[in-house]
Amino acid sequence: MKKISTFLLKAFILILFCVITFFITRYLYVPKGQKIKKTDSAIGKTIELSGETIRSNIANIGKLATAEYTYTHVEHFDSSRTIGDFKIPLTKTSYIFSYDGTIIAGVDFTKTNVNKNDTSKTITITLPEVEIISSDVDQDSFQLYDEKKNIFNPTDITDYVESFADLKTSEEQKAIDKGLLDDAKANACTIINSYMASLNIPNYTTNITFAGTTN
């Protein structure tokens, strides 16, 4: 009976020891395992967020419109038959017309360069210069306000209107003078800053520059 009691006592102590060992092991080693996983995850994140990875992700944006300028152009056209510099009276033909247009500026993000400096903890993102992506005239918006034809100087307004190239160039310059490219730059920076904020890279400073720009 004493042997059975002794055996039961030893068995109980052994079971208790195993239980205690189990919980100690669970408490001490499982967190270490988790730490290893976290370390592996951190290593993976470091690799994932290399400068090349950041550049590749930005490049995936492609060519993006970041600013738009709309306008209504009013044009006055008149023509008279001449002899040298002398305008022949009663031969004047004139038109006043308008049309609407849209000019879009943006950035080709595929040309982005990224320099991630782990020593200075800086990420320098160099974007290409902003450019005018498109300049379109809405020909359906064409309106003719005043038309004065002269049988001695037959001129068709369509011959003049078909040549929009010079008119578009002048409107593009107006758009630039009014800050279209500056707006495109500012909006491009907002896009990049939002993207970098979403990455949540601690202790790094992001600097954004544009190619051809002297800081």
- 37 and 123, same domain (yes or no): no
* Separation in Å, CA 128 to CA 4, 13, 170, 191: 87, 74, 24, 14
Question: DSSP 3-state assignment of 112?
Answer: coil
| pLDDT one-digit tens code per residue, 7-16 | 334 444 544 4
- 19 and 3, same domain (yes or no): yes
Residue with tokens 């049988």: 151
The pTM of this model reads 0.65
DSSP one-letter string for 82-93: EETTEEPTT--E
**Residue 198: what pLDDT?**
92
- 96 and 18, same domain (yes or no): no
* Residue bearing the bigger pLDDT, 167 or 131: 131
Domain membership of residue 124 (yes or no) is yes
Number of structural domains in the chain: 2
- 40 and 67, same domain (yes or no): no
Asked which of 48, 65, 87 is the last residue of a domain, the reply is 48
- 102 and 150, same domain (yes or no): yes
Asked which of 13, 33, 48 is the last residue of a domain, the reply is 48
Segment holding 205, helix H or strand E: strand 205-210
Domain membership of residue 204 (yes or no) is yes
- 29 and 102, same domain (yes or no): no
pLDDT bin (cut points 50, 70, 90) of residue 104 is very high
- 43 and 11, same domain (yes or no): yes
- 17 and 118, same domain (yes or no): no
How many other CB atoms are there within 10 angstroms of residue 125's CB atom? 23
**Residue 196: what pLDDT?**
93
Domain membership of residue 215 (yes or no) is no
The residues near 208 (Cβ < 8 Å, ≥ 6 apart) are 125, 126, 127, 189, 192, 193
In this prediction, residues 126-149 reach a mean pLDDT of 84
**Residue 12: what pLDDT?**
46
**Paired strand residues for 103:** 69, 135
Burial bucket for residue 58 (CB in 10 Å: 0-12, 13-18, 19+): buried
- 89 and 182, same domain (yes or no): yes
Domain containing 40 equals 1-48
**Residue 29: what pLDDT?**
44
Domain membership of residue 98 (yes or no) is yes
**Residue 108: what pLDDT?**
97
* Separation in Å, CA 3 to CA 11, 12, 16, 17: 12, 14, 19, 20
- 110 and 192, same domain (yes or no): yes
- 7 and 89, same domain (yes or no): no
- 113 and 126, same domain (yes or no): yes
